Amino acid sequence: MIIDFRVRPPFKSFAKLRIFGDRPKNPDPVTSSPLFQDIEPYRSYDEKSMDAFMAELDEAGIDIGVVMGRDAPEPHGAVPNDEIAELVERYPGRFVGFGGINGLDARRALAEIERCAKLGFKGVAFDNGWNDPPMRDDDDRLFPLYQRCAELGLIASITSSIFVGPDVSYSMPMHIQRVALKFPSLTIVVPHAGFPWAAVMCGIAFQRPNIFLIPDIYLNVPDLPGGDDYFRAANGFLSHRFLYASSYPVRPMGQSLRSFRRLPFSSDEIRRRCTGGNAARLLGLAG
């Protein structure tokens, strides 16, 4: 089973998010983001087509996509959690839902976490650095939300990287370390894996067994500094807590998976864990 642990399909409000409009058609190799370099064409992005997306999912050999919700102000955008539930229902067996949560309004957020559990989601997604005003991941106001996730058995997805927050200090891994220490029964997955603090984030995952890392684009972009730290961890102590993801639509699903599979893993068993076995176990799916 191949599981892509972070996709945002072009379905309804997802297609209006900033991530579906950022990529220039002809990226300049000097001034454009490295994330947009050497990308193969993918029709689902250009046409914002779900039919094309499902075809690309099948062509890549991906069995399940984990749909990460978002509840952030502009320019980042938000997706109603009801739409995620509708997507999961429309394509049975192909998607797992994580609801988007904005922690600025604790009462509203707690109610939405409860609703996400009733909708059958496996977890909820926080983009704390994009709140207005921005929040660090260990902000005290978020603690009741993390606690409720732990009580309900929901996975907390906490996106952390140089792009999430007004400056690089928001992605410092100590913020997630403090959450993991305070809530040892809370399962935490970290999309973007705290880039550019790759070695430090891997070290914290070494310390805290309730942390799973999802380096996604920061391992899929060739020769990106820090990527080797994530790979060595995945090939070693993190082999049971590493989750593969393309972070679609930022990068194509098929191209990302092919690049990942070419990495020199020490065994096929570790490669299978990282591309789906760990995710299936975490999500309670047959792997």
Residue 202 confidence (pLDDT): 98
Give me the pLDDT at residue 31, please.
78
Instruction: With beta carbons less than 8 A apart as the criterion, state whether 23 and 39 touch.
Output: yes
Measure Cα distances from 201 to 99, 160, 177 in Å.
Answer: 24, 10, 9
Average pLDDT of 146-166?
A: 97
CB under 8 Å to 280, separation ≥6 — which residues?
1, 3, 286, 287
Tens digit of each residue's pLDDT (9 = 90 or more) over 182-238: 999 999 999 999 999 999 999 999 999 999 999 999 998 888 899 999 999 999 999
Residue 287 — very low, low, confident or very high, per pLDDT cuts 50/70/90?
low
pLDDT value of position 41: 87
C-alpha distances in Å from residue 185, one per residue of 45, 146, 149, 163, 209? 38, 10, 10, 28, 10
19: Cα within 13 Å, side-chain hemisphere: 24
Tell me what pLDDT residue 228 has: 95
pTM (predicted TM-score) = 0.96
Q: What burial letters (b/e) apply to 144-179, b meaning 16+ CB within 10 Å?
A: ebbebbbeeebbbbbbbbbbbbeeeebbbbbbbbeb
Q: What is the pLDDT of residues 45-64, one digit of tens each?
A: 999 999 999 999 999 999 99
Integer distance in angstroms from the first to the last C-alpha of the chain? 6
Q: Is 129 helix (H, G, I), strand (E, B) or coil?
A: helix
Q: What is the dihedral of CA 100, 245, 15, 32, to 10 degrees?
A: 120
For residue 204, the Cα-to-chain-centroid distance in whole angstroms is 18
* Of the listed ranges 21-35, 171-185, 217-231, the one predicted with least confidence: 21-35
Q: What is the pLDDT of residues 75-123, one digit of tens each?
A: 999 999 999 999 999 999 999 999 999 999 999 999 999 999 999 999 9
The topology (CATH level 3) of 3-283 is TIM Barrel (3.20.20)
CA distances (Å), origin 247, targets 8, 181, 236: 7, 27, 23
CA 133/CA 236 separation, integer angstroms: 38
Domain coordinates in residue numbering, the chain: 3-283
Higher pLDDT, residue 36 or 149: 149
